[in-house]
A = this chain, B = another copy of it.
Amino acid sequence: MSKERLIYLPLGGAGEIGMNCYVYGYGAPDKERLIVVDLGVTFPDMDTTPGVDLIFPDVTWLEERRDRIEGIFITHAHEDHVGAIGHLWSKLDAPVYARAFTAHHARRKMEEQGHNPDKVQVMGIWPEMRQFGPFNIGFLPVSHSIPESSAMVIETKGGRVIHTGDFKIDYDPGVGEAFDRDLWAEASKGGVKALVCDSTNIFSGTEGRSESSLAPEITRMVAEQPGMVVATTFASNVARVKTLAEAGIAAGRSVCLMGRAMRRMIEASVETGVLHDFPSTIQPEDARELPRENLMLIVTGSQGERRAASAQLARGKYMGLTLAEGDTFLFSSKTIPGNERGVISIMNQFSEQGVDVVDDDGGRYHVSGHANRPDIQAMHDLVKPQMVIPMHGEHRHLREHVKLAKSGGRAGVLAPNGTCVSLSGNKPEVVEYVETGRVYLDGAVQVGALDGIVRDRIRMALNGHAVVTMIIDEDDAPLGDPWVELMGLPDKGRSNTSLVDVMEADLGQFLQRANDKTLMDDAKLEDELRKVARQTALDEIGRKPEVTVVVSRLN
């Protein structure tokens, strides 16, 4: 037996859906050469991360071993796979590899963060392979919901791994490569050690449907509408955008793309050659001149994002266009859990405008980009790996996927973020648990999820914030009365007088009673004043606020 080993370590994406980041290593223990697959983001929410702009995986483990990194490989251009490349690249300082369309996006992200876009190199597709240290690596095309999605074929002396990336089995995806069963069978020949496999839709029991199955329904629906049709979908779903545009043209409508992400995606697709025959579109200024029944808009904002075109149209106007009674708005998308309130709010705003809203309607106008349970099973059966390692899923998805693997007689392991698994034996073996976590992009700064900054914001939001200031004179005696300012707290409480007044009176009384020892000890004084302020608030308004005390000493 070789002393070298092949390891798998997820730093993000295993135990959550989002911020994918997977590490593979090969070599002597703790001296493995490493590759990184994907470097994505996840999105903040008001409940847990108010004010945060983006969330990244904590790559400290990698940063400490950056001299061992052979390269960073991006499977596809979704934000949860490529979104962090610009923000985290300087910590890893390794070359980045992707296919052309994905590289196009990765380069822009590098540039936006001030890095050299040439660090991103384009690779061809399997069977083309390139050697990176102990790894021989190829991009194996797979169908998903964005062009040029790829699985990674990772060949080492310790065996071959196929990392599916996000995938579905679609033999007619509209744009981009169809799932090529023969190519996958070929890539699996000679035996695959481990299939590291997308788990997103493991709970969907029916076989997945092809992207192309939507075209007839969408085309009919668009043709039937009396007024303007506005459709939204994920901007990166280029095939869907094309289907929508073609449905518009087929109904004799001019088509206008709105929203930066939408235009950017189509442009990138054309530039990189993945899209040849997109219908011609018109500009918003020309759209304004057309009769509404001759117009179709395709817009960003399928998740109810406040600044996207859909939300702006819902609030009234976007680029000079407004909707009206008789128009139709189509969500050719599903609502990602957590975004329901935003989407419903937009639906109701459209309703107030007299606009009919059509949603995916149980699959008539949207199909998922991920493999359902039978398709995952089909992937296991096609690749015939020795072991299955579920990834890209919450804990419950990974757990269910392990069950599926085992029911098919394959070894499987539930390896959430931080679980370092050796693939060298006949079964996956957990060899170490690595500290992992999240990093928040907060304005211009990256802060740790456990730094307490966001926790303090949540506390202010839940409890309000009272600021108490006072002055201690040269003789260590209070000078004047303490002063209270409130933010996010009611003006009046149970006694029906100003909360500020009651609090200042209680604080003043406390100071009259306070002894020198308290008055001379900043920490003690602040602590006591905080207690008084919190108790007064509890009595008056039934709630203890956050309290900041500032004691100024004149000596």
Residues on A close to B: CB < 8 A? Answer: 15, 45-47, 50-51, 337-338, 340-341, 344, 347-348, 350-352, 354, 357, 394-396, 399, 442-445, 447, 451, 453-454, 456-458, 460-465, 467, 469, 471, 479-480, 483, 485, 487-494, 540-543, 546, 548, 550, 552, 554
Nearest B residue to A480, CB-CB: B552
**A483 partner residues in chain B, CB cutoff 8 A:** 550, 552
Min distance, Cβ A493 to any Cβ of chain B, angstroms = 6
8 smallest A-B Cβ distances: which pairs?
Answer: A444-B542, A443-B542, A443-B543, A461-B461, A457-B488, A50-B461, A351-B396, A337-B340
When the two chains form their complex, are residues A457 and B453 in contact, meaning their CB atoms are under 8 A apart? no
In the assembled complex, the Cα of A465 lies from the Cα of B548 at a distance in Å of 11
Asked if residues A488 and B548 are in contact (CB atoms below 8 Å), the reply is no
Which residues of B sit under 8 angstroms from A541, Cβ to Cβ? 442-445
18 sampled A-B residue pairs with Cβ under 8 A: A45-B341, A50-B461, A51-B463, A350-B396, A443-B542, A444-B493, A444-B494, A444-B541, A444-B543, A445-B490, A445-B493, A451-B490, A453-B490, A467-B550, A471-B471, A479-B554, A480-B552, A485-B550
List the B residue with the shortest CB-CB distance to A16.
B348
CA distance A357 to B351 in the complex (A): 37
The interface residues of chain B lying within 8 Å CB-to-CB of A351 are: 394-396, 399
- Contact A396–B357 (Cβ < 8 Å): yes
9 additional A-B residue pairs with CB within 8 Å, beyond A445-B542, A451-B490, A485-B550:
A51-B464, A344-B394, A350-B396, A351-B395, A443-B490, A445-B494, A453-B464, A485-B548, A552-B552
- Chain B residues lying within 8 Å of A447, measured Cβ to Cβ, are 490
Contacts of A341 in B (CB 8 A): 45, 47, 337-338
- Name the B residues within 8 Å of A463 (CB-CB): 51
Q: Is the beta-carbon distance between B396 and A488 smaller than 8 angstroms? A: no
Partner of A469, one of B51, B465, B469, B554: B469
Chain B: minimal CB distance from A117 (Å): 23
Which of B338, B354, B445, B491 is within 8 Å of A340, CB to CB? B338
State the CA gap A51–B444 with chains docked (Å). Answer: 28
State whether B348 touches A395 (Cβ < 8 A).
Answer: yes
List the B side residues contacting A340 at CB < 8 Å: 337-338, 340
Residue of B nearest to A553 (CB): B480
**Closest beta carbon of chain B to A366's beta carbon, Å:** 16
Query: What residue in chain B is nearest A452 (Cβ atoms)?
Result: B488
Given contacts A444-B543, A488-B51, A541-B444, contact A46 B461 (CB under 8 A): yes
* Chain B residues in 8 Å Cβ range of A494: 444-445
In the bound assembly, the distance between CA atoms of A489 and B338 in angstroms comes to: 25
Q: How far is the CA of A338 from the CA of B345 in the complex (A)?
A: 11
With a cutoff of 8 Å between Cβ atoms, the chain B residues found around residue A453 in the complex are: 464, 488-490
Please indicate the chain B residues that have their CB under 8 angstroms from the CB of A467 in the complex. Answer: 467, 548, 550
CB-based contact B469/A488 at 8 Å: no
- What is the distance, in angstroms, from A458's C-beta to the closest C-beta of chain B? 7
| A462 (CB) vs chain B CBs: closest residue | B51
Identify the closest chain B residue to A362 (Cβ).
Answer: B205
Q: Nearest Cβ distance between residue A200 and chain B, in whole angstroms?
A: 13
Closest to A440 in B: B490
In the assembled complex, which residues on chain B have CB atoms less than 8 Å from the CB atom of A399?
351, 354
Could you say which residues of chain B place their CB within 8 Å of the CB of A490?
Answer: 442-443, 445, 447, 451, 453
* Contact pick for A47, options B46, B443, B445, B471, CB 8 Å: B46
Would you call A487 and B456 a contact (CB within 8 A)? yes
A460: B residues at CB distance < 8 A:
457, 460-461, 465, 487-488
CA distance A541 to B350 in the complex (A): 37
Q: Closest approach, in angstroms, between the C-beta of A351 and any C-beta of chain B?
A: 4
CA distance A347 to B15 in the complex (A): 12
Alpha-carbon distance A494/B471, docked complex (angstroms): 33
CB pair B546–A469 under 8 Å, yes or no, is no
Neighbouring B residues of A456 by C-beta, 8 Å: 464, 487-488
Contact A348 B396, CB 8 Å, known A454-B488, A461-B461: yes
When distances are taken between beta carbons in the complex, the residues of chain B under 8 Å from A540 are: 444
Q: Give the nearest-CB partner of A485 in chain B.
A: B548
Between A45, A46, A394, the greatest number of chain B beta carbons within 10 A of the residue's beta carbon is seen for A46
Q: Which residues on the B side are within 8 Å of A338 (C-beta)?
A: 340-341
* Bound CA span A550–B464, Å: 18
- Across the interface, which residues of B come within 8 angstroms of A485, CB to CB? 548, 550
Contacts of A15 in B (CB 8 A): 348
Chain B residues within an 8 Å CB radius of A469: 469, 550, 552
Tell me if A396 and B444 are in contact (CB < 8 A). no
Q: Which of B461, B491, B550 contacts A51, CB < 8 Å? A: B461
Q: A295 vs B257: C-alpha distance in the bound complex, in angstroms?
A: 58
Distance in Å: Cβ of A91 to nearest Cβ of chain B? 16
Q: How far is the CA of A542 from the CA of B440 in the complex (A)?
A: 14
